Amino acid sequence: MKVKICGITTLDAAQAAIEAGADMLGFNFYPASPRYIAPEDCARIIVDLTACPVCRVPCLGSPVTLVGVFVNSPAQEVTSILDHCALDLAQLSGDEPPEMLNQFGGRAFKAIRPLTGALAEESARRYAPASWGQPALLVDTPHKRLYGGSGQIGDWAMASYLARKYSILLAGGLTPDNLSTAVQQVKPWGVDVASGVESSPGVKDYLKMRAFVQAARQADIVSAQDEKEPV
């Protein structure tokens, strides 16, 4: 199971997340978010993460998958930032149509926040095939005003239904304390956290990040053991 720590804004937070064992880092380019990072600052962080310790040239490659988070940005802007920052994937968290995902050749996936099971199924049918790979979708908690990052727990039964059909990243109110229950119920491809590992909005707590990753690894082991046990 993959672990994505989202809303990275500093090199220290990026390095701490990697040291904690995260598989994916998310950088938020939505200006209204308290976790917003300017593309230039993100690019500098990526250069430092991938630089050779001897010559300081960015030649090592990133040890994790790097994700840019966008909300209703034009496709050309998304592509430009992906390339400028050397990011692997775009997470489209706004009201983007499925056709937009096709423009990125497998470098993008859609975040959905369905209110009902019927809407969840409809969104999955529309967006999952356009993602081309893994994850197929990010499933987050619906909110009247926010495009994610609300810290509110979503409908895990609905997410579990989608997880049986698609590779999903589960988001929405996850913390080190509730992660085991969430994984046991949903069995997602991966989990995504932002506010659940922060000391304040946009400020990552290193101990919470480590605790979250450890909880994810343990929950993954327990979930795998449960699947092996005979009924």
User: Which residues are marked as active site?
Assistant: 6, 140
In this structure, the number of other CB atoms found within 10 A of the CB of residue 177 comes to 11
Taking the C-alpha atoms of residue 175 and residue 107, their distance in angstroms, rounded to an integer, is 28
Cis before 176 (ω within 30): no
- Size of the chain, expressed as the number of residues it contains: 231
H/E run at residue 42: helix 39-50
Q: CB neighbours of 10 closer than 8 A, spacing ≥ 6?
A: 45, 204
132 and 113 Cβ atoms separated by less than 8 Å: no
Taking the C-alpha atoms of residue 147 and residue 132, their distance in angstroms, rounded to an integer, is 23
